[in-house]
């Protein structure tokens, strides 16, 4: 337990507010964690799985009304409404505190208050930050123990400092009408009530690592981004690192854990995973941009994860993993989900705990947003730099989206400022999987739309400021689109491991080893510079998906202009200028 006066004073406040029967400080020791697992199994909060097939693995079910992040119940509580911006929900802080404390008051009666000290990032790293979460959920404790670095070492590093993030989670009655996830960026405070679902209650994840951290980054001169980090090793043993941002359902985790095509693997190429979701980046002593993954585990979507789509992610779940809202196979006490394989269990319980026969049921067995929480160290391709306190140097930043026609397979921005423009216009077209019309363009700048903790206009401005700070050592910025469709609606590019071919070109561009063709939107590869060896894919088809259609982009420019209007006078002049320059180039 800490001697930090600011922490102890806050814990006293929480005890008075929540009135728990007892308080347990989490030290992260295996003995304490194992005792909590056993307690959770005894109450039914967890189900212990087959320990021979899935050692250290457990199943958890949330309430049926509590299965995903709730963006309409998520608020930024800045003192001024304009600081939350047009893309966030806002509440006045004092009103929000009163409402939340009234909801949470006395809700720990008959329950235990767990106090979790945790570090986002390697403990002691100059890029890391420390938080405390209080919760009445063992599920939260066990997940935070996988997703963050928990325990006494963290408290030692914090010492007497007041630079830490407060996090209050209270399950209350899991009442969706009183469910709120609120962030107070100016106070370093997060409060979540009436949810037990990981995305709303593991407060180190999106709440701290993106919403609070993006605001801290703006104030302190660094960046918190919704990005994977991966290392690409060539046959000479040199590793170059890239970070990449994609909206959901665009293959981010698959890219983070990519396995190169067989020919590349035989020649000695490797891919190393540093992170699959979040990157904290700042200028290093050498002037380059250095990044850490603030997380310690993966909180992945289970459905669709299989041996073909992502063998490394699947392997990561084979031990010490908590599964949430998947199918329980009663025959061997293991788990299953849609897309795992073509053999659904016939004697099973679905994600709600009801009898389910995968051969005859018309209902899905696992919830579409069912999850696995797995230690990153389980991943076969985890980078040796995963725990490096200095992080890794970033050579390239990659943006992407899901576009049927407009965007080429890959292009490079003209410079940093143009790259910020490319990130700001990131978009995906809705698919049949989403509710509503198909093919509607939804913009998600830098994949940060739901996660930016302040006004997005100011967020764009911060990107331009970072470009000035980094100067000629700034990473090169690229955009990819794996999702071009043919006339029959089939994907043209094979994707998955073959995306490595595009990554290879990106690295070569960073090293100045290949030329490119200039277009109105940026630089596209010469088709012969993308290696198609071992791939049944014609160079003419490649030329087609590298082509830039100026008419389509003129229409795109209209959509961008409409989107930019949202930000009013907060839109940086640089972005308006970039759009004007694009229109001019297109008209020529």
- C-alpha pair distances (Å), 251 with each of 299, 435, 585: 15, 19, 31
Bridge-based pairing state of the strands 180-184 and 165-170: unpaired
277 is in an annotated binding site: yes
184 is in an annotated binding site: no
498 is in an annotated binding site: yes
Answer yes or no: are the C-beta atoms of 455 and 477 closer than 8 Å: no
577 is in an annotated binding site: no
Q: How far apart are CA 554 and CA 119, in angstroms?
A: 46
234 is in an annotated binding site: no
495 is in an annotated binding site: no
Q: How far apart are CA 255 and CA 264, in angstroms?
A: 16
Q: How far apart are CA 81 and CA 102, in angstroms?
A: 23
250 is in an annotated binding site: yes
Dihedral sign computed on CA atoms, order 376, 378, 381, 386: positive
Answer yes or no: are the C-beta atoms of 297 and 375 closer than 8 Å: yes
Please tell me which residue in 207, 250, 379, 452 is annotated as part of the active site: 250
69 is in an annotated binding site: yes
287 is in an annotated binding site: no
CA 88 to chain CA centroid, Å, is 18
Does the active-site annotation cover 510? no
Long-range contacts of 38-42 (CB under 8 A, 24+ apart): 39/138, 40/138, 40/139, 40/142
Tokens 């806002």 label which residue?
Answer: 90
Could you tell me which of 279, 325, 280 has the C-alpha nearest to residue 300? 325
Q: How far apart are CA 62 and CA 49, in angstroms?
A: 17
Q: How far apart are CA 474 and CA 478, in angstroms?
A: 13
Answer yes or no: are the C-beta atoms of 230 and 270 closer than 8 Å: no
270 is in an annotated binding site: no
497 is in an annotated binding site: yes
249 is in an annotated binding site: yes
Could you tell me which of 281, 280, 313 has the C-alpha nearest to residue 297? 313
Residue 540 burial class via C-beta count within 10 angstroms: exposed 0-12, middle 13-18, buried 19 and up: exposed
499 is in an annotated binding site: yes
- Partnered with residue 329 across adjacent β-strands are 334, 348
199 is in an annotated binding site: yes
Interacting residues of 588 by C-beta distance below 8 A, sequence separation 6+ = 520
Dihedral sign computed on CA atoms, order 219, 221, 223, 224: negative
198 is in an annotated binding site: yes
Tokens 């830098």 label which residue?
Answer: 446
Bridge-based pairing state of the strands 441-443 and 427-429: antiparallel
CA 183 to chain CA centroid, Å, is 18
Q: How far apart are CA 455 and CA 493, in angstroms?
A: 36
- State the SS3 of 419-450: HHHHHHCCEEECCCCCCCCCCCEEECHHHCCC
Q: How far apart are CA 573 and CA 581, in angstroms?
A: 12
Backbone phi and psi for residue 107, each to the nearest 5 degrees, phi listed first: -75, -10
E strands, 295-344, in order: 297-301, 322-324, 327-329, 334-336
Q: How far apart are CA 108 and CA 18, in angstroms?
A: 5
Could you tell me which of 76, 158, 74, 68 has the C-alpha nearest to residue 120? 158
27 is in an annotated binding site: no
Three-class SS of residue 477? strand
339 is in an annotated binding site: no
- Binding-site residue numbers are 69, 197-199, 206, 226, 248-254, 277, 369-371, 402, 496-499
Active site residues: 250
- Binding-site residue numbers for GTP are 249-254, 371, 402, 496-499
- Binding-site residue numbers for substrate are 69, 197-199, 248, 369-371
């Amino acid at each position: 337990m800490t001697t930090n006066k600011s922490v102890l004073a806050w814990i006293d406040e929480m005890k008075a507010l929540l009135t728990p029967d007892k308080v347990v400080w989490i030290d992260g020791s295996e003995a304490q964690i194992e005792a909590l697992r056993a307690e959770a199994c005894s109450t039914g909060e967890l189900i212990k799985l087959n320990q021979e097939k899935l050692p250290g693995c457990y199943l958890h079910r949330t309430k049926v009304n509590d299965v995903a992040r709730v963006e309409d119940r998520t608020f930024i509580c800045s003192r001024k409404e304009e600081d939350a911006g047009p893309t966030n929900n806002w509440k006045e802080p004092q009103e929000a505190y009163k409402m939340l404390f009234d909801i949470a008051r006395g809700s720990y009666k008959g329950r235990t208050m767990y106090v979790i000290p945790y570090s986002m990032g390697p403990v002691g790293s100059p890029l890391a930050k420390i938080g405390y979460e209080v919760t009445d959920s063992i599920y939260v404790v066990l997940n935070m123990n996988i997703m963050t670095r928990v325990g006494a070492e963290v408290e030692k590093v914090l010492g007497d400092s007041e630079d830490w993030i407060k996090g209050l989670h209270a399950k209350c009655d899991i009442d969706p009408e009183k469910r709120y996830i609120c962030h107070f960026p100016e106070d370093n405070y997060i409060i979540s009530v009436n949810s037990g679902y990981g995305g709303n209650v593991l407060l180190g994840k999106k709440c701290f690592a993106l919403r609070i951290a993006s605001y801290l980054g703006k104030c302190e001169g660094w960046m918190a981004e919704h990005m994977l980090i991966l290392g690409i090793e060539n046959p000479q043993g040199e590793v170059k690192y890239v970070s990449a941002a994609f909206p959901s359902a665009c293959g981010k985790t698959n890219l983070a854990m990519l396995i190169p095509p067989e020919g590349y693997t035989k020649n000695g190429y490797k891919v190393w995973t540093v992170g699959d979701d979040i990157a904290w980046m700042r200028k290093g002593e050498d002037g380059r941009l250095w990044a850490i993954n603030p997380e310690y585990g993966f909180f992945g979507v289970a459905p669709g994860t299989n041996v073909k789509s992502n063998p490394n992610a699947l392997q990561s779940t084979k031990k010490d993993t908590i599964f949430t809202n998947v199918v329980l196979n009663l025959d061997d006490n293991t788990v299953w989900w849609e897309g795992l394989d073509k053999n659904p269990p016939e004697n099973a319980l679905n994600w709600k705990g009801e009898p389910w026969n995968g051969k005859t049921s018309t209902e899905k067995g696992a919830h579409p947003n069912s999850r696995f929480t797995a230690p990153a160290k389980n991943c076969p391709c985890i980078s040796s730099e995963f725990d490096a306190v200095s992080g890794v140097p970033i050579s390239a930043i990659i943006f992407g989206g899901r576009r049927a026609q407009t965007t080429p397979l890959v292009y490079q921005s003209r410079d940093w400022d143009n790259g910020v423009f490319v990130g700001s216009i990131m978009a995906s077209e809705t698919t049949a999987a989403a509710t509503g019309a198909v093919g509607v363009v939804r913009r998600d700048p830098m994949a940060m739309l739901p996660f930016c903790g302040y006004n997005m206009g100011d967020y764009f401005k911060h990107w331009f400021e970072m470009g000035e700070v980094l100067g000629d050592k700034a990473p090169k910025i690229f955009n990819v689109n794996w999702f071009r469709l043919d006339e029959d609606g089939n994907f043209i590019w094979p994707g998955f491991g073959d995306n490595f071919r595009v990554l290879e070109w990106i690295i070569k561009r960073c090293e100045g080893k290949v030329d490119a063709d200039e277009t109105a939107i940026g630089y596209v590869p010469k088709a012969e510079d993308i290696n198609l060896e071992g791939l049944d894919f014609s160079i003419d088809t490649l030329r087609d998906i590298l082509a830039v259609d100026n008419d389509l982009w003129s229409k795109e420019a209209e959509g961008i202009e409409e989107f930019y209007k949202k930000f009013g006078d907060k839109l940086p002049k640089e972005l308006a200028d970039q759009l004007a320059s694009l229109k001019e180039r297109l008209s020529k």
